Amino acid sequence: MTQENLNPLQEEPTVPEKKAAGKKVNYNTVINLVLFAGLIVLYALYFAGIRGQSSATQEEQISNMAEKMEEGTAKIAFISSERLMEEFELAKKMREEFGEEQTRLENDLSRRKRGWQSEVEKFQRDIQAGSISMERAQAKEQELMQQQQELYLLNESFSNRLLQKEMEMNNELLDKITEFLTRYNEILGYDYILGFSRGGGILYAREQHDITDDVLEKLNAEYLSTQN
């Protein structure tokens, strides 16, 4: 689900002087609550531990996989990446926490933006009514421009904070799933467990090799047992 841009200054009143038309900053940072869209291709999870290894080692493992498939000796299963992300209780909790943090930051930014708008509008009224001196008007203009720049920087800071949180949660989720599947596979002995998603790298997989239900049942049972 694509979330709203945190840009705080869309269609704002402007400070009434040439200086107020200064540099426009466009941050257009879109925060996607895909937490986990990055995982939607769960990664072709090779249990030999392909993640973090050298390119030469990865190529050797892929070559071994191809040879086993040609010989018909490879034991392969797959998991639906979409279902794993939708139905794993930890993933649900993370999406909820991410959404709450995003809403909190957006509300904070909106509150600050409204305060800035009110000050700009009051300044415009004072200018039109002639109730403010030239010296005071220049000082106020500089103050409002500074506040405007601070809002832009705050918008960028909040966006970066959400991106960092998303990355950390993705890594935590990936580690949890990898660790569980490593133990899970000690009993079943698959050579490869692949992540399957519509439009992903695997275009077809026979249903008999789908272990999603079993993995979700055991994964959720284990996770929920730690929450009591």
pLDDT value of position 5: 46
- Residue 8, in any domain of the structure: no
Residue range of the domain that includes 209: 18-225
Task: Domain count for the chain, please give it.
Answer: 1
* Residue 7 located in a structural domain: no
Alpha-carbon distance 34 to 94, whole Å? 11
Residue 6 inside a domain? The answer is: no
Question: What pLDDT band is residue 199 in, cutting at 50, 70 and 90?
Answer: confident
Q: Is residue 123 part of a domain?
A: yes
- The pTM for the full model equals 0.66
10 found inside a domain: no
Token pair listed for 164: 């960092």
Residue 180 within a domain = yes
- Residue 220 falls inside a structural domain: yes
The rounded percent of the chain whose pLDDT value lies above 90 is: 53
Chain segment 111-132, per-residue pLDDT in tens? 999 999 999 999 999 999 989 8
Distances in Å between the Cα of 164 and the Cα atoms of 72, 167, 213 are 43, 5, 31
Beta-bridge partners for 78 = 194, 210
What is the band of 25 on the pLDDT scale with cuts at 50, 70, 90? very low
Residue 11 lies in a domain: no
